[in-house]
Amino acid sequence: MTPMRTHILRRGARARRCATVRRPRGRPIAAAACAAAVLTLLAGAARADTASPALAKYQEALDTSLDRALAYLAKEQQSNGCWSRDGGRGGQRNATGITSLALMAFLAKGHTPGVGPYGETINKGIDFILQSQQTNGMLIRGDSGHGPMYSHNISTLMLSEVSGMVDPERQAKIDVVLPKALKVIISAQQMPKDERSAGGWRYQVDSRDSDISCTGWAIMALRSARNNGAVVPKDAIDRGLAYVMKCQDRNSGGFAYQPGGAPGWGRTGTALLILELCGRHRDRYALAAGEWILRHLPRRIGDGEHFSYALYYCAQGTFQLGDDYWDRFAAQLYDIMLKAQDTDGSWPTTGENEGEGGRYYTTSMAVLAMSVSYRQLPIYQR
C-alpha cells in the first residue's frame, strides 16, 4: 500500500485498509463482517469526503510538512532499528517508547510494514521493540528512567496497532510478545491502591498511586488490543475510565494530573480522548473538556506545560469530538507547527521534559498530532 493523500476531514481510509491488512493468526475476522464494515464506512464516505472549508487551505502544506518530518525520522533511525541518541543501549532513557512513537508516526501517514519507501524502516523498528521484552514482560531497554510504564504502555499500543499488518514471521513473534505485555499492564492496575488512586496506572509496575498521563497510555493500549481481538477484560478499561473521571475539576470541566489537582490542557486532552475511545462520545463531560481546551488554545510552540504531549492528546481528542472543536483546534495547530518546523524536517524541543527524547520525540508527537485527520491508525478512528 502506498501512502494515501487524503483530505483534511476524509473518511473511509480505514475501509480501504481493512481490505488489504492481514489479521493476526488465531484472531480471524469473518469475511462477511469485514465486508459489512467496509460497506458501512463507504456508505458514510459521500457525506464526509469533502474537506472542511476552514481547514482545506492547509492541505498541501500539511502533506509537505509531514513528508519532510518522516524523511528526517527515517534518516535518524539507528542501525538496530531504534530512535535513541545512544542506540538504545541504556544511557538514553525510554528508547522503546520513543521508537514506538516514531513508528506510529509512519503508520499515521499511511505507511505500512514491509511496503513502500519506509517499509523496512518500520520493520526494523518493530524488530527492536520485539527484541526488547524482558523476562517479566516489560517492553523496555536499558535504563528506563523513573517511568518505565510509559515506554511499556506506548510500545504495547504500537504492537497492537501493527498486529495484522506484518509478515507471518513477525506476526508469530507479536503473538508471543503482546499477550505478555498486556498482562503487565493489567497486573499493574491490580496493585493494592487507595480509593483515590484505584483503577489507574503510574510510573512503575508496582506503583501504589496513579496519574492521568500514564493511565491514558495504558487505556489506549488495552483498548487497541481489545479492538484487535485480544482477551482484555472490559472491567480493566472501565476501572481506568473511572480513575480518569476522578481527575475532573467539576468547576471548569478540565482534568488534572491526579485527583484534586489543577487542570491542564495536556491532561484535559488525555481525558477527552479516553472518554471518546471508551464509549462516552460527546457526553457532557467530553463536551466540557472540549470547551476547556478551546478556552486554553496554545499561542506558540512551547506554550504551556509538556507542549508536545499536550498537542498530541488535544489534537486526538478534539478530532474525535469533530465539528467546531476540531476546526478551531486544528487551525491553531497547523498555524503554529507549520511555521515552527526546522529546515531538516524536525521540530525543536521546548522544555526539559522533552529533552530526554530530543527531536525524535517532538517530531514524532508533532506528526501524530498533525496527521490525525488522515485516519490511518485504527485506535484513532472516529
Consecutive sets of 10 residues in the chain, 382 residues long: mean pLDDT of each? 36 33 37 34 30 85 97 97 76 81 97 97 98 96 77 97 97 98 98 98 97 98 94 96 98 97 96 95 96 96 90 96 94 97 96 78 96 87 71
Chain Cα centroid distance, residue 125: 16
pLDDT at 27: 41
List, for residues 80-94, the tens digit of each pLDDT value.
999 987 666 655 567
Question: What is the count of structural domains for the chain?
Answer: 1
pLDDT at 199: 98
Residue 138 lies in a domain: yes
pLDDT at 53: 81
pLDDT at 108: 96
pLDDT at 87: 62
CA distances, 287 to each of 211, 323, 324 (Å): 22, 11, 11
Domain coverage including residue 164: 57-380
Q: What is the DSSP string of 152-203?
A: HHHHHHHHHHHTTTS-HHHHHHHHHHHHHHHHHHHHHHTS---TTTTT-B-S
Residue 144 lies in a domain: yes
Residue 356 lies in a domain: yes
pLDDT at 355: 66
d(CA 145, CA 132): 15
Residue 127 lies in a domain: yes
pLDDT at 357: 82
Residue 170 lies in a domain: yes
pTM of the predicted structure, to 2 decimals: 0.87
d(CA 211, CA 194): 13
Return phi, psi of residue 179, to 5°: -60, -35
CA distances, 221 to each of 113, 155, 318, 343, 351 (Å): 19, 8, 20, 34, 26
Residue 364 lies in a domain: yes
3-state secondary structure of 115: strand
Let me know if 116 is exposed, middle or buried by CB neighbors in 10 A (0-12, 13-18, 19+).
middle
d(CA 248, CA 256): 6
CB atoms within 10 A of CB 234: 10
Q: What is the CATH number of the domain that holds 351?
A: 1.50.10.20
Residue 17 lies in a domain: no
381 and 375 Cβ atoms separated by less than 8 Å: yes
Provide the grid cell at 208.
Answer: 501504589
List, for residues 177-216, the tens digit of each pLDDT value.
999 999 999 999 999 999 999 999 999 999 999 999 999 9
Residue 192 lies in a domain: yes
Helical ranges in 2-118 per DSSP H: 13-18, 31-48, 59-76, 95-108
